Chains A and B, each alone.
Chain A
Amino acid sequence: MVSKVYIIDDDDISVYLTTMVLEEAGFAKEICTYTSADDALADLSFTVPAPLPEVILLDLNMPFKSGWDFLDILRPYEATLKGKLDVFILTSSIAVSDKEQARNYPLVCGFLHKPLDEESVASIKRACTRRT
C-alpha cells in the first residue's frame, strides 16, 4: 500500500470520485486532494526533507496553473524525485497530443483517462511495484 497520494484537480466531482475509487481499492494510507497546482506545490517541500507523496494524480486542464505548468515547476527536481515520486496524469482529455506531450516528462509514469477505475488503480499499483 502506498503511504501517501496527491490528487491535484480543479474539478470537485472528479476529486470526489477519484478519492472514492482509491479508498475503495485501499490504495493509500493517506489521500491529499488539491484543487489547484499552487496548493499542491505549497505542500511539496523540496528543501527540507519531508515525507513526499509516492504518487501524484495530476489533472491537466486547470485554471492559472495547468498540469503542464506543475510539471514544468518540478523539472529542476526531476533527478532528485525520480524513483521516489511517480506522477500519473489523470485527465478527461482524450486528445492524443496530450499523451504525446506527457512523454517529455520523465516523472510521468502513466497517462490515465477519467474516470479512474479499478483497472487504472491496478495499473498504478503495478507501476509502483515495479519501482520498489
Chain B
Amino acid sequence: MKVNFTQPEALALTPDFYTSIVRHGSELITVINWQGNYQYVSDSVGPGLGYAPEELLGTHVLELIHPDDVPIIGDELLKHTTGQTKQITLAPFRFRAKNGDWHWLSCVSTNMLDDPHVRGIVTNSRDITAKMVALQQKKESRAYYKALFFNNPDLVFTLSTSGRVEACNDAVVDLTGYTREDFPESHFADFVLSEYHAATFEAFHQALAGKSCTFESCIRHRNGQKRHLSVTLVPVVLEGRVLAVQCIAKDITNEKEANLLVKAQSQKLHNILEAMVEGFFALDTAWRYSFGNTVFANFLGRPLNELMHRQIWEEYPFLVDTLFYQKCLEVDKTRKPVQFDQRFDDLKAVLRFTLSPFEDGILVSFVDITEQLKAQEELRKLSLVASKTTNGVIITNSQHEIEWVNEAFCNVTGYALEEVVGKRPGDILISNDTDSRELTWVREQLALGMPMRKEMRSYHKNGEMVWADVTISPVANERGEIEKHVYIHTDITERKLEQEQLLKTTEHLYHQNEDLQQFNYIVSHNLRAPVANLVGLSTMLQKLDRNSGRFMQGLQNLETSARRLDDVIGDLNKILAVRSTNLQASHEMVSLVEVAAEVALSLQHLLTPISGRIVLNLKQEDLLWANRAYVYSILHNLISNAIKYKSAQRDLLIELNSVRKEDSLQLHIKDNGSGMDLETVRPQLFQLYKRFHAGPDGKGIGLYLVKMQMNAIGGEIEVESKPESGTTFTLHFKQAAYGQQGLHN
C-alpha cells in the first residue's frame, strides 16, 4: 500500500510547539535535578499513573520506585550525576501509581544537567506493564511445564510425529536403563514388546489424529526385564496441527504382576477345588455360601450362582435339625476342624463331612460314602459269615496254597490258621487211603476252572476221619484268570454216620422183611403141608377098620407126617437161632483146619461105606474171627450135601483148599459128585425148602442155612457146578483173622 504523505504547511517551530509535544505526548517525560527530585513531569503522567504533574514535583524519584528495583535504578542515576554516562537505557522497573499499583516502566534517561535550558536529567518512560505481565506469565508457564515434564515421577517423554523419542525425563531414564543420548535416534517401537506393538501403534495413530488416549503397554528394560506401563498419549496441537505427541506413562509392573499372580493363584485354587472328587463349599461368617465347586453344585442339582451369597440355613431349613448344623456351630466356636458322617434319609445317602474354619468362615468338604458304607457293611457281613459260619472256609491263592481258613475249619480239623497257611488243602486233608480216582477228578475240575461239590473223606489233625461235603468254587479276576478258590468244608460225619446207620437199618429191615416172607412161605407150605396131611390122615383113619392093612399104613403115614412137622419146627428154630444171635459177641478165633477135621470125623461113618475121601489142604494159620458153631455147621452141611449127591459113576472125592487173599480167606470145597445144572437152579439154590434132587433126602434147608450163617459171620458163598462133573462151593471169609489180635503169630 502506498501512503501518501501530504507535505504539510511549513511548521512554525515555536516554544509552544515543543511544549505541546512534550506535555501531551504518550511518553512520560520528566526532568530530575541532580538531587533526584522531579523538576518537571509531563501531563501524560495523568492517564497512566493517576497523578497530576504538579503532585510529583519535588518528589524524589526513588520514592516511587519499587524497593526491589531501587538499588539498580539508584546506581544508574548515580552514573549521570557523576557525569560518566550521557544516556542510559534502564532495565524495566516498577513504579507506584497513585492508586498503589505497581506499573512496569521502560525508561531512557539522558543527562542534560549541563544543558542550561534544562539543567536536569530527562527521562523518557513508557508504561510496559502489560508487556511485563505477559512476560511473567510466560515465565511461570515454562516453570510449570518444566516441573511437569522433568520433575514428574511418572515417565514423561515426547514423541515426534514420526515416533522418535525427542525428549524424556529422568523417570524414563531410570525405568528403561537407557541414557538420554540413546534416545534421539530411537523409535518408541524399539522399546515396546512385540506383542504390544499393535495396541501401542493404534494409540499413537489416534494421538496423531488429535485424540488423546490411555492404554497399557509393556517395554523391555535394557537389562531384559519387562516393565508394564499405563500410557497416556496427548497430542501437542498448535494451530490445528499436531506437532508432537506427549506421553505420560506410569510403571504398573508391580500391580500388573501382582494381579497376574493373584489371578494365576486364584485359577490354580479353582482348578484344585474343581479337581477334587469331594464336594466343596465355603460359608462366610454369616453362613452365606461364598464358594462352591462343581461337585457340590451337581450334588445339589443347582447352579452355583443361584446359591452364592445366600444363607445356607434359609436355603435348606431342614439342616437346622441336623448334626451338620451343630457341628458348624461347634467349629465356628472352637475354630477347630471336625470330621463326621451324617445320614440324610431323604437323599438316602450318607455324607462324610470335613469342616475347617478359615478366616472368612467355614470350609465344608464332603464325600458321598453311601456306596462305600454299603460295601463295607456287605464286607463286614460277608466276613462275619465267613468267620462265624459253622462251615469250614478255605481260601487259596492261584497256586492253590491256603491264604486263609476260618474258625470253623480250625475247629473241625484241629489245625490253627498259621499251621495251614501256604500249604495246599490236599496236603492236610487227605490221607493215603483217600480214593485216588476222587482226587484225580477233583484236580481235573480245578484245572478246568469248574466249581465242584463232593462228599469226601478228610482227616483231622489227630488222624481221625471226617466226612466232609466239600464245595470248591473258583474265583476269577476281570481277565478271567482264576485267582483264588473258595472251599466250603462242611463236616457231615454225623450225617454220614446216620446215613450208614440208616443203611444198616434198611438192610436189617430188608432182611426182616425177607425173613417174614420166608416164614410166611414156611408157614403156608412147609408147616402147613404136614399139618394138612395130619388132618387128612386122622379123618381117614376114623373111617377105616382098625385091623385092616390100610389102617396100619395110614397110621404110619400119620407118624411120618408128625415127624415132618417136627422137622420143620426144628428147622425154624435153627433159622431163628441164626437170626437172633448176637453175632459179634459170639465171635471167637476159629482154626479152620481144626473144625474141618472135626466135621470130617463126624461124617466118617457115611464116607466109609461108599469109599469116599476127604482131603484137607488147609494151613495152621487159616484162622477165622467167627462163630465156631456156624463154621462147623457150614462145613457139615456142604460136606453132607457132597456125600448126599455123590455120583453113582465114581468114588467120592472131596477136597478143601484154602487161599489167602490179603485180609480175606477163600475156602474151596470141591467134589466130584453129580453136579447141578446151574442155569436152572441158581435162582433158587440158596432159598429155603428148595430142593433140586429128587432123591430121598434133602428138605431144602441146608444151603439156605449155609448162606445165612456165612452172611452172619461176614462172608459170601459162591457155587460152580456142572452136571456129572462135580460142584465147587467157594466160601469168602472177609473177616479172616489175619492181623486180628495178632493171634496167628
Question: Measuring CB to CB, which residues of chain A are less than 8 angstroms from any residue of chain B?
Answer: 11, 13-14, 16-18, 20-21, 24, 35-36, 60-61, 63-64, 91-95, 98, 113-117
Contact = CB atoms under 8 A, between A and B. Distances in A.
A128 B270 CA distance: 122
Contacts of B529: 11, 14, 61, 92, 114
Nearest to A59: B529
Interface stretch (B229-237, B614-622, B685-693): B685-693
B556 to A, nearest CB: 9
A35 B693 CA distance: 12
Given A63-B692, A64-B692, 17 more contacts: A13-B533, A13-B537, A17-B537, A17-B540, A18-B536, A20-B550, A35-B694, A64-B694, A91-B525, A92-B528, A94-B524, A95-B525, A113-B532, A115-B533, A115-B536, A115-B537, A116-B536
A114 B694 contact: no
Nearest to A115: B536
B520 interface: yes
Given A17-B557, A24-B543, A115-B532, A63 B524 contact: no
B109 to A, nearest CB: 186
Nearest to A35: B694
A60 B520 CA distance: 15
Interface in B637-687: 680
Most chain A beta carbons < 10 A, residue from B533, B557, B689: B533
Nearest to A116: B536
27 contacts: A11-B533, A13-B533, A13-B560, A14-B529, A14-B533, A24-B543, A35-B694, A63-B692, A63-B693, A63-B700, A64-B680, A64-B691, A64-B692, A91-B525, A92-B524, A92-B528, A92-B529, A94-B528, A95-B520, A95-B524, A95-B525, A114-B532, A114-B536, A115-B532, A116-B536, A117-B536, A117-B539
Contacts of B553: 16
A93 to B, nearest CB: 4
A34 to B, nearest CB: 12
A36 B695 CA distance: 12
A113 B520 CA distance: 16
A95 B689 CA distance: 16
Interface in B29-59: none
B540 A14 contact: no
A116 to B, nearest CB: 7
Given A63-B690, A63-B692, A21 B536 contact: yes
A24 to B, nearest CB: 7
A31 to B, nearest CB: 15
A15 to B, nearest CB: 10
A98 to B, nearest CB: 8
B-side binding surface: helix, strand, loop or mixed?
Answer: helix
B287 to A, nearest CB: 99
Contacts of A21: 536, 540
A93 B524 contact: yes
B72 interface: no
A18 B529 CA distance: 13
B532 A14 contact: yes
B691 A63 contact: yes
B561 interface: yes
A18 to B, nearest CB: 8
A118 to B, nearest CB: 9
Nearest to A17: B536
Q: Which 7 A-B pairs have the closest CB atoms?
A: A115-B536, A114-B532, A92-B529, A63-B691, A95-B524, A92-B528, A17-B536
B262 interface: no
Most chain B beta carbons < 10 A, residue from A11, A92, A95: A92
A20 B700 CA distance: 28
Nearest to B684: A63
Interface string B279-294: 0000000000000000
A17 B533 contact: yes
Contacts of A35: 694
Nearest to A94: B524
Interface in B690-736: 690-694, 700
Contacts of A17: 533, 536-537, 540, 557
Most chain A beta carbons < 10 A, residue from B528, B532, B539: B532
Interface string B353-375: 00000000000000000000000
B535 interface: yes
Interface in B129-180: none
A42 B433 CA distance: 61
A91 B525 CA distance: 8
A93 B540 contact: no
Contacts of B536: 14, 17-18, 21, 114-117
Interface string B534-560: 011101100100000010011001001
A70 to B, nearest CB: 15
Contacts of A117: 536, 539
Nearest to B531: A92
A16 B525 CA distance: 18
A42 to B, nearest CB: 14
Contacts of A18: 536
Contacts of A116: 536
Contacts of A113: 532
B431 to A, nearest CB: 51
Most chain A beta carbons < 10 A, residue from B520, B540, B690: B540
Contacts of B539: 115, 117
Contacts of A24: 540, 543
B533 A36 contact: no
Contacts of B526: 61
Contacts of B680: 64
A35 to B, nearest CB: 8
A20 B543 CA distance: 11
A64 B695 CA distance: 12
Contacts of B521: 95
A126 to B, nearest CB: 21
A115 to B, nearest CB: 2
Most chain A beta carbons < 10 A, residue from B520, B524, B531: B524
A14 B680 CA distance: 27
Contacts of A13: 533, 537, 557, 560-561
A9 to B, nearest CB: 10
Most chain A beta carbons < 10 A, residue from B521, B525, B560, B561: B525
Contacts of A14: 529, 532-533, 536
Contacts of B560: 13
A54 to B, nearest CB: 23
Nearest to A114: B532
Most chain B beta carbons < 10 A, residue from A13, A14, A93, A114: A13
B701 to A, nearest CB: 13
Nearest to A62: B691
A20 B540 contact: yes
A92 B525 contact: yes
